[in-house]
């Protein structure tokens, strides 16, 4: 039975505890023993992506100190896992636990699909759902083949979602266009960021999505913020919440 | 760079995006190019292999650039061309003007050359009494409007046909209110014919310079490079020193990638190989450095010198499509431009590496596989370290990092933030949230964080 250390991104911990809870329950349902190392804070991505490597490095070190030695580290976030896997080597190259933690850290759907080999998720979700493919899950972690690359198509998150009973997945136009969140971009380039987000909401609405889901709550927080301001009826849920299914 | 930014990217982008219907029109026009590119690329089974080959050939060319440039010079000279070397934009402009002045040429036709835009050649020559006519249709349009191109492949993509109709009515005497693209193109064609016939010299850019033959290859869709070099006795070909490919057969990789990536065409309509001058005429090739050799010594940005200027990164960039090429304030805009511009002047272009969500679509469409979004991230680090990012933002991030470095401080800060979100009225919170709150709600604040709940239900770990 695999043992998983749950890595809960800081903003999920504070603002979306239900997403962390769903992740925990989903992992347990798939036979994992889950622990939550309480010393964890933030992986340092907001600082690193803004060019503040010196500010990010102590957080990366703290992260590695906290998570070293666990069999697996799993997070409900593509971009935080991308940070650990691809940016930590530049930021804290000498940390003794770097390789061990990097290679055992997975995004939730990636872990279910690739490590546990899950192909069918038990549960029922009788809704019309649009999948927002977040960029770092898509292009850093390669959870899907991507619209740009001419390779054999695959999509791990969609594969898991589509196995739920009763779910109808719809494809928005521009299947993997960015939502415009982009961390500090959302604030520094507010005008373009919000236009990008509303365009995504429109594309999902045109496709008929009642629910928009994805593996990165940060993108979804931006889309949710826009949708709520305009009173749009769409529901925004993390993939972990959808995969947990609805009570029949 | 020829055109200094009037405002930093966020302000210019906000102005552009304020006209939402027009921004959507611009976005759709460029997305259409991306869709055509996808279709064309999908028809080449070895597409990803071609990209890897192109990346490898360019890496090899850049690693052996001095030898290849000298080999190119020898072969081009042997074929009858004259090769000139320009250290920077000023020297390039002096060489071009000198060649024209020596021959008493005062009427120059140009095909598209981003290098001459970068060097500010047109105003330099015009100030010295030379009539310069850009003959690429899009370039002629922006030249009439006295503005820079907004895209390297589609220079007038920011303009609607009605605006071009009004411009041509004023400049070329087309019927008032006419906006039929075919009619307007015919009018431009007639106008440009006269310019081609009267020209005393033709200037072209260079897409590829082949070291082992000494040929330069120029790709156009309008045939204007061919028109401009077929009649006048003087052909000037201006190139950045990174345009070298080692072998003629390498073109079998690059020509297949270039037009498919740029516009979704299988190949450019005209791909002309100039090996030495036409009988009775002269061919002068001006090889320009202008910061390129310095870039060659700078990891990771040296890979940006592999760029073949297809514009695919602009067409796919969700920010470029919604902010317009002019918002970047540089000759080459978009993702590749945001990597290149700070190499010339980091302080002036410090906002550009941040004009991206780091979505990475640019890197995945790039036909030479430049890791554009990783280079933008690398720039962010350099610019922040050099103090070229806003001081308030730096301070805020460092303070947040200090808070997050301690689990206790982090938990307390989270509790305070959630408390504030719950008790303060929405209007006050929206104002406190600054640019986040203008168009977006903040997330609803739960009473309990996950860690608090976990401690309550699972006990202290």
Q: Is the pLDDT of residue B363 over 60?
A: yes
> Hey, of A41, A64, A140, which one would you mutate to test binding to chain B, going by the most B CBs within 10 A of its CB?
A41
Asked if the structure places residue B429 within a domain, the reply is: yes
Asked if the structure places residue B110 within a domain, the reply is: yes
8 Å CB contact of A226 and B439? yes
Give the integer Cα–Cα distance in Å for B244 and B58.
Answer: 8
Q: Which residues on chain A are in Cβ contact (under 8 Å) with B410?
A: 10, 41-42
8 Å CB contact of B440 and A140? no
Write down which residue in B252, B275, B290 finishes a domain.
B290
Q: Is the pLDDT of residue B414 over 50?
A: yes
Q: Is the pLDDT of residue B426 over 90?
A: no
8 Å CB contact of A53 and B398? no
Q: Are residue B87 and residue B207 in the same domain, yes or no?
A: yes
Asked if the structure places residue B417 within a domain, the reply is: yes
Task: Phi first, then psi: give them for residue B116, nearest 5 degrees.
Answer: -70, -25
Q: What is the mean pLDDT of residues B158-168?
A: 98
Task: Phi first, then psi: give them for residue B443, nearest 5 degrees.
Answer: -65, 150
Q: Are residue B71 and residue B207 in the same domain, yes or no?
A: yes
pLDDT tens, position by position, A206-233: 999 999 999 999 999 999 999 999 999 9
Q: Is the pLDDT of residue A77 over 50?
A: yes
Q: What is residue B209's three-state secondary structure?
A: strand
Ordered alpha helix ranges (H), B43-180: 47-63, 65-78, 89-102, 114-119, 121-126, 137-144, 161-172
Closest chain B residue by Cα to residue A51: B381
Answer for the pair A77, A20: CB distance below 8 angstroms, yes or no.
no
Q: What is the mean pLDDT of residues B28-38?
A: 98
Asked if the structure places residue B336 within a domain, the reply is: no
Quote the pLDDT of residue B7: 66
Task: State the total domains in chain B.
Answer: 2
Q: What CATH number matches the domain at A128-244, 1.20.120, 3.30.420, 3.90.320, 3.40.50?
A: 3.40.50
Give the integer Cα–Cα distance in Å for B88 and B251.
Answer: 28
8 Å CB contact of B405 and A41? yes
Q: Is the pLDDT of residue A76 over 80?
A: yes
**Can you say whether residue B176 is alpha, beta or left, with left for phi > 0 and alpha for psi between -120 and 50 degrees?**
beta
Residue with tokens 């899009």: B138
Q: What is the residue-averaged pLDDT of chain B?
A: 95
Write down which residue in B290, B322, B353 finishes a domain.
B290
Asked if the structure places residue B154 within a domain, the reply is: yes
Closest chain A residue by Cα to residue B442: A225
Q: Which residues on chain A are in Cβ contact (under 8 Å) with B9?
A: 189
Closest chain A residue by Cα to residue B40: A150
Which pLDDT band holds residue B459 (cuts at 50, 70, 90)?
confident
Q: Which residues on chain A are in Cβ contact (under 8 Å) with B414?
A: 10, 13-14
Asked if the structure places residue B164 within a domain, the reply is: yes
Q: What is the mean pLDDT of residues A114-142?
A: 97
pLDDT tens, position by position, B65-92: 999 999 999 999 999 999 999 999 999 9
Start-end ranges of CATH 3.40.50 in chain A? 128-244
Q: What is the mean pLDDT of residues B365-383?
A: 97
| pTM for the structure as a whole | 0.96
Q: Which residues on chain A are in Cβ contact (under 8 Å) with B401?
A: 44, 47, 52, 55-56, 58-59
Q: Is the pLDDT of residue B20 over 60?
A: yes
Q: What is the residue-averaged pLDDT of chain A?
A: 97
**What distance in Å separates residue B263's CA from the closest CA in chain A?**
14
Q: What is the mean pLDDT of residues B108-114?
A: 96
Ordered alpha helix ranges (H), B20-46: 20-42
Containing structural domain, residue B252: 44-290
Which pLDDT band holds residue B5 (cuts at 50, 70, 90)?
very low
Going by the DSSP 8-state scheme, the letter that residue B151 receives in this structure is S
8 Å CB contact of B363 and A181? no
Q: What is the mean pLDDT of residues B261-286?
A: 97
Closest chain A residue by Cα to residue B383: A51
Quote the pLDDT of residue B181: 97
Q: Which of B17, B354, B442 sits opposite A185 (nearest CB)?
A: B354
Distance in angstroms between the alpha carbons of the first and the last residue of chain A: 29
Write down which residue in B290, B321, B347 finishes a domain.
B290
Going by the DSSP 8-state scheme, the letter that residue B446 receives in this structure is P
Give the integer Cα–Cα distance in Å for A235 and B435.
Answer: 24
Q: What is residue A128's three-state secondary structure?
A: strand
Q: Which residues on chain A are in Cβ contact (under 8 Å) with B323?
A: 192
Q: What is the mean pLDDT of residues A13-38?
A: 97
pLDDT tens, position by position, A135-144: 999 999 999 9
Closest chain A residue by Cα to residue B426: A229
The interface predicted TM-score (ipTM) is 0.97
Q: Are residue B114 and residue B245 in the same domain, yes or no?
A: yes
For residue A248, give the nearest of A160, A166, A185 by alpha carbon. A166
Asked if the structure places residue B367 within a domain, the reply is: no
Quote the pLDDT of residue B1: 37
């Amino acid at each position: 039975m695999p043992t998983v250390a749950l890595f809960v991104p800081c903003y999920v911990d504070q603002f979306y505890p239900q997403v962390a809870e769903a992740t925990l329950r989903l992992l347990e349902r798939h036979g994992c023993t889950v622990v939550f190392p309480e010393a964890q804070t933030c992986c340092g991505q907001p600082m690193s992506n803004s060019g503040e490597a010196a500010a990010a490095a102590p957080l990366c070190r703290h992260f590695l100190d906290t998570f070293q030695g666990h069999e697996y580290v799993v997070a409900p976030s593509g971009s935080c896992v991308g940070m650990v896997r691809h940016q930590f080597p530049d930021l804290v190259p000498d940390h003794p636990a770097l390789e061990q933690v990097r290679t055992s850290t997975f995004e939730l759907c990636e872990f279910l699909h690739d490590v546990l080999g899950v192909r069918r998720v038990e549960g029922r979700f009788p809704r019309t759902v649009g999948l927002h493919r977040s960029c770092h899950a898509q292009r850093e972690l390669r959870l899907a083949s991507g619209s740009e690359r001419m390779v054999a198509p695959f999509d791990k998150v969609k594969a898991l979602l589509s196995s739920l009973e009763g779910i109808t997945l719809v494809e928005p136009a521009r299947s993997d266009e960015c939502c415009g969140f982009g961390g500090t971009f959302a604030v520094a380039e507010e005008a373009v960021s919000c236009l990008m987000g509303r365009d995504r909401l429109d594309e999902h609405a045109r496709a008929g999505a009642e629910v928009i889901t994805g593996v990165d709550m940060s993108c979804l927080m931006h889309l949710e913020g826009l949708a709520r301001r305009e009173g749009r009826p769409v529901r925004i849920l993390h993939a972990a919440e959808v995969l947990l299914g609805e009570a029949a | 760079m020829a055109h200094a930014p009037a405002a930093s990217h966020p302000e210019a982008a906000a102005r552009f995006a304020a006209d939402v219907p027009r921004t959507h029109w611009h976005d759709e026009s460029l997305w259409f190019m991306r869709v055509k590119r996808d279709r064309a690329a999908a028809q080449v089974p070895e597409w990803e292999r071609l990209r890897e080959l192109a990346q490898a050939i360019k890496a090899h060319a850049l690693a052996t650039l001095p030898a290849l440039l000298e080999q190119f010079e020898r072969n081009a000279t042997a074929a009858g061309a004259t090769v000139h070397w320009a250290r920077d934009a000023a020297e390039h402009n002096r060489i071009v003007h000198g060649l024209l002045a020596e021959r008493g040429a005062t009427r120059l036709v140009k095909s598209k050359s981003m290098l001459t835009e970068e060097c500010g050649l047109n105003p330099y020559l015009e100030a010295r009494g030379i009539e310069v006519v850009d003959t690429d249709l899009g370039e002629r349009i922006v030249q009439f409007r006295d503005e820079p191109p907004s895209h390297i492949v589609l220079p007038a993509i920011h303009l609607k046909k009605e605006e071009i109709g009004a411009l041509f009515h004023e400049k070329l005497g087309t019927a008032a209110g006419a906006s039929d693209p075919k009619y307007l193109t015919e009018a431009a064609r007639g106008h440009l014919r006269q310019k081609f016939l009267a020209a005393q010299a033709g200037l072209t850019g260079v897409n590829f310079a082949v070291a082992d033959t000494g040929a330069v290859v120029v790709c156009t869709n309008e045939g204007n490079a061919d028109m401009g070099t077929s009649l006048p006795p003087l052909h000037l070909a201006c190139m950045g020193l990174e345009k070298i490919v080692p072998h003629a057969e390498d073109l079998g990789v690059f020509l297949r990638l270039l037009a498919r990536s740029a516009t979704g065409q299988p190949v450019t309509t005209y791909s002309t190989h100039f090996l030495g001058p036409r009988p009775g005429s002269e061919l002068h090739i001006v090889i320009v450095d202008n910061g390129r050799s310095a870039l060659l010594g700078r990891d990771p940005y040296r890979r940006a010198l592999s760029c073949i200027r297809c514009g695919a990164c602009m067409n796919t960039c969700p920010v470029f499509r919604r902010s317009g090429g002019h918002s970047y304030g540089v000759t080459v805009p978009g993702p590749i431009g945001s990597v290149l511009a700070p190499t010339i002047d980091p302080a002036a272009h410090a906002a550009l590496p941040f004009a991206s969500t780091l979505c990475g679509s640019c890197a995945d469409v790039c036909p030479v596989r430049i890791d554009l979004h990783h280079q933008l991230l690398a720039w962010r680090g350099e610019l922040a370290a050099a103090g070229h990012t806003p001081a308030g933002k730096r301070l805020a991030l460092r303070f947040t990092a200090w808070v997050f470095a301690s689990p206790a401080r982090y938990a307390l800060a989270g509790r305070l933030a959630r408390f504030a979100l719950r008790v303060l009225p929405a209007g006050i919170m929206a104002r406190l949230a600054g640019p986040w709150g203008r168009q977006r709600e903040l997330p609803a604040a739960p009473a309990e964080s996950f860690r608090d709940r976990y401690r309550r239900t699972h006990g202290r770990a």
